[in-house]
Structure 1
Amino acid sequence: MSDVINKAVEALAGKMDGGFDGSVKFVIEGEGAIMVDGDGVRAGDDEAECTMTADTETFEAILSGDLNPTSAFMTGKLSVDGDMGTAMKLGSVLS
């Protein structure tokens, strides 16, 4: 597993304040995938209600708070496939 994925799992887990009742997969291009669901945050490539895809730089900027996920989506840096409501729920949990 890549260092980027390991660090992202740690960072996301630290931002999760309580439970999340959906399932989202973050795909970091060239690195792998991260699952966020009711069980927490982990490296994995399972089925999810929503899949978000970005490059490493965009994902790290979102995690650090330097880039708003909505802005990333609107500018084409973040793609969302699946249930947009679930994506928005996760965005509010991480903010």
Structure 2
Amino acid sequence: MTNIVQFPQRVSEDEIVTVKLEDAFAILTKQKTLDDIKWEKAHEARIKELMDMGVERLRHLWDNVSEDTSFYEGEFGMHDCADIHTALNRLGDGYYCAV
């Protein structure tokens, strides 16, 4: 019986994470780690949150990004300028923040 997989007697209890099939293959082939996938999910959630604000508010955020930290910090939270730029690009307004 060469096709038998032996599992350890003791299984560690970790968090259960749902991933897409393509991500599961990426983990199994060591192209990504679970932390990479968690970061990507969090990143997409941040971008979606920004996109939901709309173009006008994103322009306000972009105009008020700190030159010292590259972050917007104000009444609408704290946001990285790269995330703001990505959201504006996805909404078709990337030219607004072109350098």
The two structures have a TM-score, normalised by structure 2, of: 0.30
More helix per residue: 1 or 2? Answer: 2
Max radius of gyration: which structure? 2
Structure with more contact order per residue of length (Cα contacts < 8 Å, sep ≥ 6): 1
More strand per residue: 1 or 2? Answer: 1
